[in-house]
A and B are shown apart, each in its own frame.
Chain A
């Protein structure tokens, strides 16, 4: 007879003792999974764990925690009649639990959500646990931390038990891989494969319980815990793996393992790997592994992992040149982050320098502190353009006529420009408040319903406080809300200021009529509004409004606390939602028509409106308070391939990047592509399947983008220096 543990070990573990706390039951589910799940090697023979029951009925994922599919469990109840009653009872229990979760989520600002003004917290996000903790110290070390803290916190005994179960699971998987590697080695005919399997079998005699002693054992330890954690974001890989890399006598073996790992990252779509950086005294931390990572990125040309390179005032020239060489292959990687600005931003929200300098990215551009925080996920997003639409229609959604937001006054009664800008910032504050409170409801829900005992072992603070990773355990628990459509609003406000209030060429009533008519019959008006000075051309009068409204957003955000125990902070990375937001926004005074998909490119200008060249655009975006943005503040340039083909071109680009960073730029993303490539790719996608472009936070294949976004990418001013 097949046992439930064989059918679905998560279910078996979770229901093995229903009197336990929920978090502990999650730990038990992991433990039963470690004992019963099938294990195997990746396509290129690295140890790999996929935490999913074989029928897909349940599993454990980084963004959702323990999950169940009751429809599949119900099917299984039909298939395994001997367990029918038990399985059906489990389904009822799970449904009951889920409905509790739903009840807790209060009905919240649905009108705003529907209007596309904001969203908050619906996404579990990525994280940067310190996988190096197990690689360098072993599970025994973490057990010692548990033992030391649990005696002071008897009320949290269940939490420590949950974490111990998770560590047991890691150890059990390790032991099973030792056995599997020996068994495979015996049957293996290929001499190289056999040697690798034997090395791994030997490594698993030591790891993950004890520290790794060479690069093979470090990789075994890393793969075990990284794949158990859903193969998410490796973080500062070149830092925590370097001691083992440096200690390895056989460089060829080490590079072969890295090559295998890169294929694994691609297969699992692993997220963000970060290299280089500086410590709190400004010392450069680039090492040979940082260069090995860049060399792999050039060789493999995958769009994963999303590669981040930290630069700072002491970044060596060799690294700058290798960055340029890597960008030249056209994957849009690495994205560059400036320690001098990011660390200052983090220190402004109370993170001490020794920790701020351990930042890295998870997912796309979200900033986290490696192994110390739960802040690097998108908690929500605020749509600036929609807030302006509300302000121009006294809180109504101009697409539907519905009163979607608060009333901030009839614009026809506004006698000064300042009054209009205040109506906008009032809308922005209201919508931001909604995004934050919505995010907090979700943070609370996730704290209660998605405990992560494994991550709690890998993130500092959790074991010390006796609190889960999701529940305020980490040292830092700030939130991140993103801003979209910034320059569209700045350009619109500037045009209204100029033409309605300063020059009095048009009345507010004419403008509102034109917007309501989507400019039909108002060609001259639209032409004049469109031809006002725009953000992105280093023209102070036009830039200052755009900068001011975003700076305002940062200030407002920091007033709101997160449920987990930090403050909200802001950033801007558009992902692929920006086209959709444009479609859900009515006509705007910058000349955008109703439903037009094109909107400002992250923190930069509205596509096609920056006509003074790249240096002017850079000067404009430097007007933002970039040290107030604690979530990726994405600035992207797209370059023609040609630019990166000569030493002169590369040197010019390096000088440009250095100037941006020296003057206070935070992030810089570069896409190397020719415009003909893009146009042709739109016409003939079949010929350009491997054409990679950077879309805000990540790189993607151009042909996979929807048409609206393709146009956006094409329209981004193509720069030549």
Chain B
């Protein structure tokens, strides 16, 4: 199957016509209340798990109005909500999300601002400032540490992260390493783009090294399975 991406207008007709379902359209446009109706279908599960709605990405702060509308609807429906974010959004967004009582799954990728810019293309001042703001407000926070072998997992990187976590100890629920995995490569292929970064899945040895380095600074971090 060959697709001329330049001519594609995302109408989805091709998926209806092909008898072998060779192509598929993933995702659809929905209003916040439509999304909420879908979320509420699983209400029985929130009651036993304590779970609820997590607004995730992409990056929720890029669709701030929509994300906040969802959080408002969740609050009205009496279910707990959370936001998974890289922290780069405007302060206003985090203020409002905090007002709505959301929990935060907050990425911290690198402490060194220069290396952060090199790795992600953006400075981390805003990220760390938003994070401190949320900590000051006493919000429920899980700090996520995406670890990409050879990129942000040097001894110095981890020492800086550990120092940051040490400084803010007790101001977050827990910190958790998110080891790099290659599950997204299939997605790149389907989209017809070449992946910007490809690496093997993080190994158990790498995970152990990260965790024990943090431990050597007295910082207890979980490792996501």
Q: Which residues of A contact B (CB under 8 A)?
A: 523-524, 526-527, 531, 538, 615-616, 619, 642, 645-646, 648-649, 651-652, 654-656, 658-659, 662-663
Contacts and interface: CB of A to CB of B under 8 A. Distances in A.
Contacts of A659: 44-45, 47-49
Contact residues of A: prevailing secondary structure:
helix
Interface of B: 19, 21, 41-42, 44-45, 47-51, 225
Which among B19, B21, B44, B225 has the highest number of chain A CB atoms within 10 Å?
B44
Contact residues of B: prevailing secondary structure:
loop
Contacts of B42: 615, 619
B173 to A, nearest CB: 13
A652 B44 CA distance: 13
A490 to B, nearest CB: 19
23 contacts: A524-B19, A526-B19, A531-B21, A538-B41, A615-B45, A616-B41, A619-B41, A619-B44, A642-B225, A645-B225, A649-B225, A651-B49, A652-B49, A656-B48, A656-B49, A658-B48, A659-B45, A659-B48, A659-B49, A662-B44, A662-B47, A662-B48, A663-B44
B225 to A, nearest CB: 5
Given A531-B21, A615-B41, 8 more contacts: A526-B19, A527-B19, A538-B41, A651-B49, A655-B50, A655-B51, A656-B49, A658-B48
Contacts of A616: 41
A654 B51 CA distance: 13
A526 B19 CA distance: 9
Contact of A655 (B19, B21, B48): B48
Which among B21, B41, B42, B48 has the highest number of chain A CB atoms within 10 Å?
B48
A485 B44 CA distance: 27
Contacts of A642: 225
Contacts of A649: 225
Nearest to B42: A615
B88 to A, nearest CB: 27
A649 B222 CA distance: 14
A651 B21 CA distance: 37
A618 B41 CA distance: 11
A646 B225 contact: yes
The 4 closest A-B pairs by CB, nearest first: A655-B49, A658-B48, A659-B48, A659-B45
A524 B16 CA distance: 10
B45 A655 contact: yes
Contacts of A538: 41
A719 to B, nearest CB: 13
Contacts of B51: 655
Contacts of B45: 615, 655-656, 659
A648 B224 CA distance: 10
Contacts of A619: 41-42, 44
A538 B37 CA distance: 12
Which among B19, B45, B51 has the highest number of chain A CB atoms within 10 Å?
B45
A523 B47 contact: no
Contacts of A656: 45, 48-49
B53 to A, nearest CB: 13
A651 B45 CA distance: 12
B40 to A, nearest CB: 11
Nearest to A538: B41
A523 B20 CA distance: 9
Nearest to B20: A527
Contacts of A526: 19
Contacts of B225: 642, 645-646, 648-649
A538 B41 CA distance: 8
A15 to B, nearest CB: 63
Contacts of B44: 619, 659, 662-663
Contacts of B50: 655
B80 to A, nearest CB: 13
A652 B225 CA distance: 13
Nearest to B46: A659
B82 to A, nearest CB: 15
B49 to A, nearest CB: 3
Contacts of B19: 523-524, 526-527
A215 to B, nearest CB: 37
A580 to B, nearest CB: 28
Contacts of A524: 19
Contacts of A662: 44, 47-48
Nearest to A661: B48
Nearest to A655: B49
A646 B222 CA distance: 11
Nearest to A524: B19
Contacts of A654: 48
A655 to B, nearest CB: 3
Contacts of A531: 21
Which among B47, B49, B50 has the highest number of chain A CB atoms within 10 Å?
B49
B89 to A, nearest CB: 27
Contacts of A655: 45, 48-51
Contacts of B47: 659, 662
A642 B225 CA distance: 8
A659 B49 CA distance: 8
Nearest to A526: B19
